[in-house]
Amino acid sequence: MTSATAARPWRLGTRGSDLARTQSSHVADALTAAGAGALDLVVVRTEGDVSTASLASLGGTGVFAGALRAALLDGEVDVVVHSLKDLPTAPHPGLTIAAVPPREDPRDALCARDGLTLADLPAGARVGTGSPRRAALLLIARPDLEIVDIRGNVPTRLARTEDDLDAVVLALSGLRRLGLEGRATEILGPPSFLPAPGQGALAVETRDDVDSELPGLAAALRAIHHAPSAAAVVAERTLLGRLEAGCAAPVGALATLDGEDLELAAVVARPDGALHLRRAAHASIDPADTTLAATVGRDLADDLLVSGAADLMADA
């Protein structure tokens, strides 16, 4: 394992897509401003970037994280940036999420031809998404839609609305980070559209021994950490983990914090949208204590499981 020294910049591992590089650049700038010094971006190619198969067939959320984590453990990079919604909920031996920067807007966005909204789309409209959650929520709202499975970067997906699709659904956070928010024709948000757990949030991951191995970087990571964002995503991801669900299961969750008041809303649906469950929970927590947020997520997941969520997810 190679330790960073003052003789070279820190190495920040990132996927190669425009969105991933933009997100990682923002984190690098924040770390530099917090006193970490210079960081070099190191592009790591992942299976999810190479294959055109569906995420579910590739194994789900871990498809984007594996190569980045291997580079981190091998000492090829000092820190990596993940989209939290793409990160498996189980801890990875030897690694720790050292910082969750302030979360971007977690909602989904409809990007349709001719400025159409979801209600305005014609009967049988073709809507593209690679997310079973988005597909199910779209079909709950509009059972007549034809859902088309799509992959590719954000510009590639948007271009499909000028070709063979009437609309695509993307994360609003990604559009904003790329300066493409103007392509959204409707924001799809609560209560009917709940995002993927962790959507809009980033995870900055390091090796467990970062404090002793890379003290200057560790201090900067603590400085960019945003406790309310971390508490929210811990609640959402704990719920997801308790449900033993991944990207192939249509599960949405959104935690919001108002001071110490946490509200967690969740939905579990059948892939065809024909059946779904919605539940919510409220609690008073200390945002700095993620164990309390985790308890909220675990308890709400148990409520969903008692209500039959496992049977819905079994159809995914």
Q: For residue range 230-259, what is the model confidence (pLDDT) as tens digits?
A: 999 999 999 999 999 876 789 999 999 999
Sign of CA dihedral 309, 311, 312, 313: positive
For strands 167-171 and 108-112, give the pairing: antiparallel
Would you say residue 71 has pLDDT above 60?
yes
Quote the pLDDT of residue 104. 97
111 is an active site residue: no
Quote the pLDDT of residue 249. 82
Q: Which of 78, 86, 108, 166 is catalytic?
A: 86
> Containing H/E element for 209?
none
Q: What percent of the chain has pLDDT over 90?
A: 82
| Coil vs helix vs strand at 103 | coil
Instruction: Reply yes or no on domain 232-313 having CATH 3.40.50.12780.
Output: no
Residue closest to 23 by CA, chosen among 8, 10, 41: 41
Query: For the residues 113-140, what does the mean pLDDT come to?
Result: 97
Q: Is the fold of 10-102+201-225 the same as that of 108-188?
A: yes
Give tens-digit pLDDT for 186-242: 999 999 999 999 999 999 999 998 888 888 899 999 999 999 999 999 999 999 999
Quote the pLDDT of residue 6. 46
Res. 313 pLDDT band, cuts 50 70 90: confident
Q: Which of 15, 133, 237, 279 is catalytic?
A: 133
86 is an active site residue: yes
DSSP annotation of 122 reads P
CATH of domain 10-102+201-225: 3.40.190.10
The fold of the 108-188 domain, in CATH, is: D-Maltodextrin-Binding Protein; domain 2 (3.40.190)
Q: Which of 11, 107, 247, 279 is catalytic?
A: 247
85 is an active site residue: yes
69 is an active site residue: no
Domain parsing of the chain, residue ranges: 10-102+201-225, 108-188, 232-313
Query: For the residues 112-139, what does the mean pLDDT come to?
Result: 97
Q: Decide: 141 and 196 in contact? Cβ < 8 Å.
A: no
What is the rounded CA–CA span in Å between residue 212 and residue 173? 34
Give tens-digit pLDDT for 14-68: 999 999 999 999 999 999 999 998 899 999 986 655 545 444 544 455 667 999 9
207 is an active site residue: no
